[in-house]
């Protein structure tokens, strides 16, 4: 098939172009060139060739060309068109080519958008970026070429894991990758500005845009993954502290810290070297994400593609990146021109420091909790599990002061809050919130010290950010909306977690049970056939008005049984009903849950990203 060759060779040519760009950049740095405009064509072609290669792979998937190994392993003629397309990045090879395409796309955009930066810094950024691109290109061609051929051509493919055949999961990886990959530019630009002694206000306000891009896409990517897990994995949770989820959370936390600390660099010319460290760590964590997910080291529902050899390559590449960036950091970090003034305790910069302090603590909890079991197993052959209780125990107590600081911080001034008359008012408000939280918990008979304090802090943040939102007259709309969104998120999660109710039981057709104030009736069961699965649909009626039709799907290629929950959403709660087959029995396992404020968890996260996006609009208005 000709497309196999087109795809393969355009990758090779793009690698060639990357090498040329790399050499030209090095040459231009040595000769102190004044103009680098001629490079833009090369950047375009570098991207264009990877794009051609990626499109070839998509077409191969669409026409089900099973002479291609990737298509053979991950597709099937019976699959709907959407999932043939999304199957392209639902596997290791395809997802890497997507990764590479985004990488070349972003460096092209960077080149077009960085006119304001000094040429030397741009060239260094390009050098680092090309090293990353070349590294990934070689990785792709050597260990995971998507265009290998199967001889003789098989008649049928092996199919895509049915739980991945889902509209949200079709777009989840590309969105997440946009977030991951754009951290590479933050990394390259940070190192370049360090070498060029440009770690200053101008650089901070330039790199802030890229940090926002990364952070917004990562937030959306995590949100999509979470929504998918909620309705598809069939057990009604949305965050499981699963290693692969943690791995996407870590760069997000790091970027959140970075986002805040660049503000200090921009406004106060301080925390320069900390900004550089966070930039390096963000990218490292993003590559780690790819490495750990794709290498099969993690024991998780998400590791669909397992291949240790590839892990070794990424691991070596990762070590190379970390070591070289650390060397650059230690060579240049004392040259960072920084405002050496001490911070005043009651100032915005101090509160941002406190934000960074807590966020880095959360990051270290997640990091240690995720990788400690791996190290323990390698070193002592002992297997332990680190699950939700560990993370809850270490994170929740620290979340309480964090939320309170988050409420106060944005209301402080830079350098020094002149008159801090607020404490009395703030503490009265805090006390009122304590009473509200206690009463709310009392009504639901859930009073515990931890929960009361947590709810107090989140009510407090909620009311203060809400007040800021109304009162601030759009002065810092991006920040107020994001913070309000975050307070709403935390509040929804807490209320959701202790107000959720569920029942798990076995029912036959015609059975009826009472749960809380609900009567659940199992009316009938029907089966139906689709192109690539057979399904059993249960008909349930709750309180004689809500009809639920959860499904069990039996896919044939590959043979997998999945449960499709039926979820009825309104502003106050989700009703969630899912059925499962029970072996050798004529009854079904029925799980019914009421999950309050579920929709607000999604909406508030969207609000957070809207807040982030607004920072761009404001810039254009200026």
Q: Does 59 bind other proteins (CB under 8 A)?
A: no
Q: Does 474 bind other proteins (CB under 8 A)?
A: no
Q: How far is the CB of 120 from other proteins (least distance, A)?
A: 31
Q: How far is the CB of 315 from other proteins (least distance, A)?
A: 21
* Total of residues contacting other proteins (CB under 8 A): 48
Residue from 123, 365, 406, 461 touching other proteins (CB under 8 A): that is 365
Residue from 32, 37, 342, 471 touching other proteins (CB under 8 A): that is 342
Both tokens of residue 493? 């999660």
Q: In what order do the strands lie in the sheet with 573-581?
A: 501-507, 588-596, 573-581, 566-569
> What SS3 class is residue 620?
helix
For other proteins, which is the closer residue by CB, 156 or 506? 506
Both tokens of residue 46? 């570098």
Is cis: bond before 112, omega within 30 of 0?
Answer: no
Q: How far is the CB of 33 from other proteins (least distance, A)?
A: 40
Measure the CA–CA gap between 177 and 286, rounded to whole angstroms: 9
Q: Does 357 bind other proteins (CB under 8 A)?
A: yes
- Residue 449 burial by CB count (10 A; 0-12/13-18/19+): exposed, middle or buried? exposed
Residue 509 has φ and ψ, to the nearest 5°, of -60, 135
Q: How far is the CB of 360 from other proteins (least distance, A)?
A: 6
Q: Does 350 bind other proteins (CB under 8 A)?
A: yes
Locus of tokens 């049970």: 513
Q: How far is the CB of 424 from other proteins (least distance, A)?
A: 24
Q: Does 334 bind other proteins (CB under 8 A)?
A: no
Are 127 and 29 contacting, i.e. CB atoms less than 8 angstroms apart?
A: yes
Q: How far is the CB of 274 from other proteins (least distance, A)?
A: 9
Q: How far is the CB of 88 from other proteins (least distance, A)?
A: 23
Locus of tokens 């600081």: 405
Q: Can you spell out the DSSP letters for 34-96? A: S--TTHHHHHHHHHHHHHHHHHHHHHHHHTT-TTBHHHHHH--TTS-HHHHHHGGGSSHHHHH
CA atoms within 13 A on the CB side of 452: 15
Residue from 9, 13, 361, 438 touching other proteins (CB under 8 A): that is 361
Binding range to other proteins, per CB under 8 A, among 118-126, 145-153, 372-380, 449-457 = 372-380
List Cβ neighbours of 206 (8 Å cut-off, separation of 6 or more): 114, 116, 117, 189
Binding mask 498-537 for other proteins (x = CB under 8 A): ----x-x---------------------------------
Q: How far is the CB of 399 from other proteins (least distance, A)?
A: 13
Q: How far is the CB of 149 from other proteins (least distance, A)?
A: 31
Residues facing residue 519 across a β-bridge: 514
Measure the CA–CA gap between 149 and 157, rounded to whole angstroms: 13
Binding range to other proteins, per CB under 8 A, among 118-126, 353-361, 598-606, 607-615 = 353-361
For other proteins, which is the closer residue by CB, 405 or 539? 405
Give the largest Cα separation in the chain, rounded: 84
Binding mask 557-596 for other proteins (x = CB under 8 A): -----------------------xx-x-----x-------
Pairing of strands 573-581, 512-515: unpaired
Measure the CA–CA gap between 410 and 394, rounded to whole angstroms: 26
> What SS3 class is residue 593?
strand
Binding range to other proteins, per CB under 8 A, among 144-152, 169-177, 284-292, 349-357 = 349-357
Cα angle: 463, vertex 465, 470; to 5 degrees: 95
For other proteins, which is the closer residue by CB, 57 or 261? 261
Locus of tokens 């896919």: 555
Measure the CA–CA gap between 534 and 162, rounded to whole angstroms: 12
Q: How far is the CB of 241 from other proteins (least distance, A)?
A: 9
* Window 246-305: residues binding other proteins (CB under 8 A): 298-303
Residue from 242, 468, 566, 574 touching other proteins (CB under 8 A): that is 242
- Residue 581 burial by CB count (10 A; 0-12/13-18/19+): exposed, middle or buried? middle
For other proteins, which is the closer residue by CB, 393 or 619? 393
Are 129 and 25 contacting, i.e. CB atoms less than 8 angstroms apart?
A: no
* Window 60-119: residues binding other proteins (CB under 8 A): none
Q: Does 360 bind other proteins (CB under 8 A)?
A: yes
Q: How far is the CB of 575 from other proteins (least distance, A)?
A: 18
Q: How far is the CB of 435 from other proteins (least distance, A)?
A: 20
Residue from 13, 44, 235, 414 touching other proteins (CB under 8 A): that is 235
Binding mask 373-412 for other proteins (x = CB under 8 A): ---x---x-xxxxxxxxx--xx---x--------------
Measure the CA–CA gap between 75 and 157, rounded to whole angstroms: 5
Q: Does 13 bind other proteins (CB under 8 A)?
A: no
For other proteins, which is the closer residue by CB, 112 or 559? 559
For other proteins, which is the closer residue by CB, 323 or 372? 372
Q: How far is the CB of 582 from other proteins (least distance, A)?
A: 8
Pairing of strands 518-529, 533-542: antiparallel
Binding range to other proteins, per CB under 8 A, among 20-28, 49-57, 328-336, 354-362 = 354-362
For other proteins, which is the closer residue by CB, 44 or 240? 240
Both tokens of residue 318? 């990762």
* Window 538-557: residues binding other proteins (CB under 8 A): none
For other proteins, which is the closer residue by CB, 24 or 354? 354
Selection from 571, 575, 569, 570 nearest residue 594 by Cα: 575
Measure the CA–CA gap between 381 and 253, rounded to whole angstroms: 31
Query: Which residues in this chain contact other proteins in the complex, by CB under 8 A?
Result: 233, 235, 237, 240, 242-243, 298-303, 342-345, 350, 353-354, 357, 360-361, 364-365, 368-369, 372, 376, 380, 382-390, 393-394, 398, 445, 502, 504, 580-581, 583, 589
């Amino acid at each position: 098939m000709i497309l196999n060759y087109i795809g393969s060779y355009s990758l090779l040519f793009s690698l060639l172009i990357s090498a040329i760009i790399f050499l030209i950049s090095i040459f231009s740095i040595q000769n102190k060139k004044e103009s680098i405009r001629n490079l833009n064509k090369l950047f375009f072609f570098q991207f264009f060739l990877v794009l051609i290669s990626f499109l070839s792979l998509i077409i191969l998937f669409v026409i089900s060309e099973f002479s291609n190994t990737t298509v053979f392993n991950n597709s099937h003629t019976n699959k709907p068109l959407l999932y043939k397309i999304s199957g392209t990045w639902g596997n290791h090879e395809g997802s890497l080519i997507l990764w590479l395409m985004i990488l070349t796309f972003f460096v092209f955009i960077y080149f077009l958008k960085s006119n304001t930066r000094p040429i030397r810094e741009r060239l260094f950024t390009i050098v680092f970026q090309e090293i990353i691109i070349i590294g990934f290109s070689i990785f792709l061609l050597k260990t995971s070429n998507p265009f290998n051929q199967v001889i003789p051509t098989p008649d049928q493919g092996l199919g895509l894991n049915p739980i991945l055949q889902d509209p949200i999961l079709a777009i989840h990886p590309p969105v997440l990758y946009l977030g991951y990959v754009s951290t590479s530019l933050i990394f390259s630009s940070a190192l370049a500005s360090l070498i060029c002694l440009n770690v200053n206000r101008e650089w901070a306000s330039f790199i802030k845009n890229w940090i926002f891009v990364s952070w917004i896409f990562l937030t959306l990517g995590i949100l999509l993954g979470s929504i998918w897990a909620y309705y598809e994995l069939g057990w009604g949770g949305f965050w499981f502290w699963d290693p692969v989820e943690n791995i996407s959370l870590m760069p997000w936390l790091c970027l959140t810290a970075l986002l805040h600390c660049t503000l200090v660099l921009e406004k106060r010319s301080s925390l320069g070297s900390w900004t550089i460290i966070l930039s390096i760590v963000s990218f490292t964590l993003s590559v780690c994400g790819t490495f750990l997910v794709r290498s099969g080291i993690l024991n998780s529902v998400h590791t669909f593609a397992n291949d240790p050899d590839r892990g070794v390559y990424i691991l070596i590449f990762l070590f190379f990146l970390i070591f070289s960036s650390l060397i650059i950091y230690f060579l240049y970090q004392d040259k960072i021109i920084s405002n050496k003034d001490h911070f005043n305790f009651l100032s915005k910069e101090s509160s941002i420091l406190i934000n960074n302090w807590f966020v880095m603590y959360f990051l270290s909890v997640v990091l240690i909790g995720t990788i400690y079991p791996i190290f323990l197993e390698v070193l002592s052959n002992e297997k332990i599990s680190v699950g939700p209780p560990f993370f809850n125990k270490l994170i929740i107590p620290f979340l309480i002061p964090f939320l309170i600081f988050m409420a106060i911080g944005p209301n402080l001034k830079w350098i020094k809050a002149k008159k801090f008359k607020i404490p009395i008012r703030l503490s009265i408000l805090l006390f009122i919130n304590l009473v509200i939280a206690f009463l709310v918990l009392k009504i639901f008979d859930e009073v515990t010290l931890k929960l009361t304090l947590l709810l107090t802090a989140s009510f407090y943040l909620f009311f203060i950010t809400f007040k800021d939102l109304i009162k601030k007259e759009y002065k810092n709309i991006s920040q107020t909306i994001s913070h309000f969104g975050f307070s709403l998120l935390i509040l929804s999660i807490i209320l959701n977690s202790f107000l959720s109710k569920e029942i798990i039981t076995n029912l036959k057709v015609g059975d009826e049970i009472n749960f809380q104030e609900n009567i659940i009736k199992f009316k009938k069961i029907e089966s139906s056939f689709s192109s690539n699965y057979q399904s059993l649909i249960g008909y349930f009626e709750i309180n004689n008005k809500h009809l639920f039709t959860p499904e069990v799907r039996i896919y044939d290629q590959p043979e997998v049984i999945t449960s499709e929950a039926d979820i009825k959403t309104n502003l106050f709660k989700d009703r969630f009903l899912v059925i499962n087959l029970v072996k050798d029995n004529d009854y079904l396992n029925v799980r019914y849950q009421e999950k309050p404020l579920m929709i607000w968890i999604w909406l508030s996260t969207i609000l957070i990203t809207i807040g982030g996006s607004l920072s761009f609009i404001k810039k254009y208005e200026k």
